[in-house]
Structure 1
Amino acid sequence: MPLWPSGLLVIGDAICSFDPIYGQGITVAAAEAAELGKALADQAASAQADASPPGWERKLLRRFASIVLPAWWTIVVADMKWPGVAYEGPLSRRGIAFCQSYLDIARKQALQGGDMELFGPILGVQGLDLPPSALFGEEAVRSILIRCGREDWLEEILEPGESLRMFLERNLPFAPDCSRAPNEVS
């Protein structure tokens, strides 16, 4: 919204409502509440404690977006596997296809290969306990594919001259090397 109304702040399901089957909505809302608490504490500590700076709501909503996007992305990736589900939006279809195949490789190794140490980061990112970089950072992708014996898979995915970092930056909707988990309160 180009002209966000001053004094209006939305949080939780008013920003983005999640399918309850994934169990992410309350975690995202709690992380947003923590960000709101930080913003209010910063405001109280500033010299302008009695007057909100113009546009503080938009700045806080951008912080909320960095919490919502990784959670929403994991749902899109999962839901796009169901027959009849179509996605029409700005997210990269190439990124969605990459994540679906990549997660299939990792889950197969974790579940069928009995590699529960690998299953931890999968659950951690999907449960919002770990940052997206734990699965989708360049180092994590390479390490997981080596662990699964599938490092050659990247040759099928990457275009000639395209690095993995370049691919991730272009095709994932969040910074793949971001270091903070959505529900991590500092």
Structure 2
Amino acid sequence: MIASFLSILHYGVFGFLLSLILAAAVHKLNAPANFQRSLQSYDFLPSKLASSFAKFVPWLEITVIAAAIVCYAMRQIELSFLLLFTLFTAYSAMISTLVFQKRTLVDCGCSLFDSNVLIAPKTLLMRNIALIILCCVFYLTTQQTTGSPSEWLFGLTFSCFLFVIYSSVDLLLENHVLLSKLRLKHD
């Protein structure tokens, strides 16, 4: 029973992380100018380099997804974990520099939605730390068996559930910022 639960959790978290990266990559590919502006707002790269980097990042994310799936299929779970963990850690490191600079960010480039809301990098960093924790959950729930079809199906369902929760939290964060601004204007 516990092994089955761990398998479902494992498949669900893995599917969620992959689908989240894919959705973010597609978002960046659909709005490259917005992502370029996001990168420029970090003040890490010169403008020309930010433009090139904005074109490179979504393809890097898609490559990470493909490599993680191939590693997983070859039962190299550690490599899949390292790819995902490294990606989310790199994003967290970029956002953490903004926390130390006490700056706000219109769009981190990782949101699933177009937004013009200034979100505190501390909030985004907490969200990324939760994603890093999920990477660890993925690794720690690795089972020796390949799992039954029902475990895969429940894992897929759990993955969709996690994606809906993530999207809802993303929108709630934006709404919270908007409501805070409204209160300030009203008072």
Smaller-chain TM-score bracket: 0.3 to 0.5
Taking structure 2 as the reference length, the TM-score comes to 0.33
Flag the structure with larger Rg.
1
TM-score w.r.t. structure 1 length?
0.33
The structure whose residues are more often helix, as a share, is: 2
Higher relative contact order (CA 8 A, sep 6+): 2
